[in-house]
């Protein structure tokens, strides 16, 4: 189990302390329960269209900005480097 330190408004801390007393729990129990509920009910943020298709876009992974325009040149250079060219 990992440890987390948080700072809360005094009014929120008072509410947590009251809940802990009323339910016979520790403040950390109340906090863990609240965080767990939040994580279970909050959907993942929607990814941007570019992020969804990034694995399909060659320039996104190759880092070569003109790959689409000069693909033949890059292909020939790569083939020569691997010993397949003249």
Express each pLDDT in 26-40 by its tens digit.
Answer: 999 999 999 999 999
Other Cβ atoms less than 10 A from the Cβ of 46: the count is 8
Measured between alpha carbons, how far is 15 from 18 in angstroms, rounded to an integer?
Answer: 5
Measured between alpha carbons, how far is 84 from 77 in angstroms, rounded to an integer?
Answer: 10
Side-chain-side CA neighbours of 57 within 13 Å: the count stands at 12
Give 72's pLDDT tier (boundaries 50, 70, 90).
confident
Q: Report angle CA 3, 9, 23 to the nearest 5 degrees.
A: 65
Q: Quote the crossing angle between the two packed helices 10-23 and 27-41, to the nearest 10°.
A: 100
pTM: 0.52
């Amino acid at each position: 189990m990992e440890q987390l330190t948080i700072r809360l408004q005094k009014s929120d801390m008072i509410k947590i302390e009251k809940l802990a007393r009323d339910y016979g729990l520790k403040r950390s129990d109340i906090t863990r329960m609240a965080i767990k509920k939040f994580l279970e009910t909050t959907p993942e943020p929607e990814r941007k269209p570019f992020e969804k298709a990034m694995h399909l876009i060659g320039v996104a992974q190759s880092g070569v900005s003109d790959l689409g325009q000069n693909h033949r040149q890059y292909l020939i250079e790569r083939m020569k480097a691997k010993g397949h060219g003249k």
